[in-house]
């Protein structure tokens, strides 16, 4: 059961259990397990959301001709996976001259699963922020026709920039985000902290537990849109990543636990 002491007791109460709203890492070498060992905390992993791809039949209803676009914008690995899945299902051959604009270097490198990686056609933001991605795109906006693959709840900031800068573009819905049933997980254990990685994860929490009250539960969030979703939901955000001294969620949790769990 999610509960906790009054807000004034937050710093006094040690964190003993954390629910990570993502699938469990496949390798035992994950830094999460080192974190759990170092601070003697119980870590449970359970994804709050899942992604379901649209069928080629449903995609065709959007009347988007992928081959007409000269550049593709990727803000997640899910977008990469489903873009190339749809292309394969529809037997679409993407031009070798197509450019790819990725929000992070990690997503840019992930493209190697699908294309011959060339720096002259793969671009990414300097710091993983939307702002840095848009700065890169701005240099090419007059010469490209952009396709923005996304979920059914796409990022509005990028689409608004494309519209404001009079870019040729289309937003293609290729997959949807669906809440998992996490009622049993949340009611079965008194977690001291929940960590979110997507605004949809926060949405899933309230879909599963509409009367959720934070009380003494610590909340962590990765990414600016996730942090914003936590605060917009009226929750207190205790751990925010990435940050200058904590580029990953593990690093941010380590810093926080070093303070809350010190003896």
Q: pLDDT tens digits, residue range 78-89?
A: 999 999 999 999
What is residue 5's predicted lDDT score, i.e. its pLDDT?
38
Phi and psi angles of residue 128, each rounded to the nearest 5 degrees, phi first: 80, 5
Mean pLDDT taken over the chain: 91
The whole-number average pLDDT for the span 185-206 is 93
- Please identify, in words, the CATH class of the domain defined by 17-48+180-261: alpha beta
pLDDT at residue 155 in the model: 66
List the chain domain ranges: 17-48+180-261, 51-177
pLDDT for 122: 96
- CB-based contact 147:72 (threshold 8 Å): yes
Q: Span 51-177: which CATH code?
A: 3.40.50.10090
Task: Provide mean pLDDT across the span 174-199.
Answer: 92
pLDDT band at 104 (very low <50, low <70, confident <90, very high): confident
Highest mean pLDDT among 4-8, 105-109, 204-208: 204-208
Distance CA 124, CA 156 (A): 19
Percent of the chain scoring above 90 in pLDDT: 75
pLDDT band at 2 (very low <50, low <70, confident <90, very high): low
**Nearest residue to 171 (alpha-carbon basis) of 160, 181, 179:** 160
Least confident of 46-50, 66-70, 108-112, 185-189: 185-189
Convert the pLDDT of each residue in 11-56 to its tens digit.
456 899 999 999 999 888 899 999 999 999 999 999 999 999 999 9
Q: Would 17-48+180-261 and 51-177 be classified into the same CATH topology?
A: yes
pLDDT of residue 154: 63
**In this predicted structure, what is the pLDDT of residue 250?**
96
C-alpha angle with apex 195: 194 to 197, nearest 5 degrees? 145
- CB contact at 8 A, 86 and 61: no
- Residue range 204-210: mean pLDDT, rounded: 95
pLDDT band at 263 (very low <50, low <70, confident <90, very high): low
Percentage of the chain lying above the pLDDT 70 cut: 94
Whole-number pLDDT of residue 126: 85
Q: What is the pLDDT of residue 6?
A: 37
Residue 148 token pair: 């923005």
**138 has pLDDT over 50:** yes
């Amino acid at each position: 059961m999610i509960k906790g002491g009054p807000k004034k007791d937050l710093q006094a109460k040690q964190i003993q259990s954390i629910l990570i709203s993502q699938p469990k890492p496949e390798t035992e070498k994950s830094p999460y397990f080192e974190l759990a060992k170092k601070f003697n905390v119980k870590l449970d992993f359970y994804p709050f959301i899942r992604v379901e791809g649209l069928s080629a039949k449903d995609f065709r209803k959007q009347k988007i001709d992928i081959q007409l676009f000269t550049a593709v914008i990727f803000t997640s690995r899910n977008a990469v996976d489903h873009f190339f899945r749809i292309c394969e299902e529809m037997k679409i051959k993407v031009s070798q001259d197509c450019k790819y604009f990725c929000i992070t270097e990690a997503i840019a490198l992930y493209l190697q699963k699908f294309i011959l990686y060339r720096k002259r056609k793969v671009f990414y933001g300097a710091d993983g922020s939307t702002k840095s991605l848009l700065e890169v795109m701005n240099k090419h906006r007059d010469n490209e026709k952009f396709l923005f693959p996304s979920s059914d709840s796409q990022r509005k900031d990028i689409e608004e920039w494309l519209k404001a800068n009079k870019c040729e573009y289309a937003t293609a819905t290729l997959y949807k985000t669906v809440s998992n049933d996490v009622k049993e997980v949340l009611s079965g254990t008194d977690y001291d902290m929940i960590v979110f990685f997507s605004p949809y994860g926060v949405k899933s929490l309230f879909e599963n537990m509409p009367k959720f009250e934070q009380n003494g539960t610590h909340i962590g969030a990765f990414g600016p849109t996730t942090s914003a979703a936590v605060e917009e939901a009226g929750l207190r955000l205790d751990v925010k990543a990435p940050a200058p001294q904590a580029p990953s969620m593990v690093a941010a949790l380590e810093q926080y636990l070093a303070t809350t769990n010190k003896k």
